[in-house]
Amino acid sequence: MIIDTLASAEKYYGLHTNFKAAFEFINSTDLETLAAGKHDITDGLIVIASEAEGKTAETATDKFECHNKNIDIQFCIRGNETIGWKPRTDCKSPKGKYNDEKDVLFYGDKPDMYFALKDSQFVIFYPEDVHAPMIGEGLIKKLVFKVKI
């Protein structure tokens, strides 16, 4: 997991061929007017734009998730979002089986830690990062990039 600000994004371009395209999308798009929903950016890279009310930690951890085929870059456009996290190796209670079509596996475990994202901050989640996003009060507007591994 990586947590940083948009001003420092360039130092992560070398970690994956599509990271640069994701951050260039952020810098070249009017994020306030971007329509909610899924947007294709380039081969192996999509972004999902959303604006929703924050959830309680209890509600968010019902969907404590990780992915096998994608890296998530989650970028906070507006609001204050808290995210729960735990390393996948420490999760012992899968909730059902891995859904290959949706690239998601849920866990019944609880996060080891919580951290906050605010405007212009992002987090990068790799397959070994189990996460519970969208914890907070009020509206949270964000982008979730799905970077195909």
Taking only the tens place, the pLDDT of each residue in 28-77 is 999 999 999 999 999 999 999 999 999 999 999 999 999 999 999 999 99
The predicted model scores a pTM of 0.95
**For the chain, domain boundaries:** 2-148
Strand-pair partners of 4 = 122
CA 37/CA 50 separation, integer angstroms: 6
Once rounded to an integer, what is the mean pLDDT over residues 6-16?
97
The token pair that represents 17 in the structure block: 């061929």
List the CATH code of the domain at 2-148. Answer: 2.60.120.370
In the sheet where 139-148 sits, what is the strand order? 2-5, 121-125, 70-78, 139-148, 45-53, 37-42
Once rounded to an integer, what is the mean pLDDT over residues 126-141?
97
The pLDDT value given to residue 112 = 97
pLDDT tens by residue, 135-144: 999 999 999 9
The average confidence (pLDDT) of the chain is 97
CA 109/CA 122 separation, integer angstroms: 24
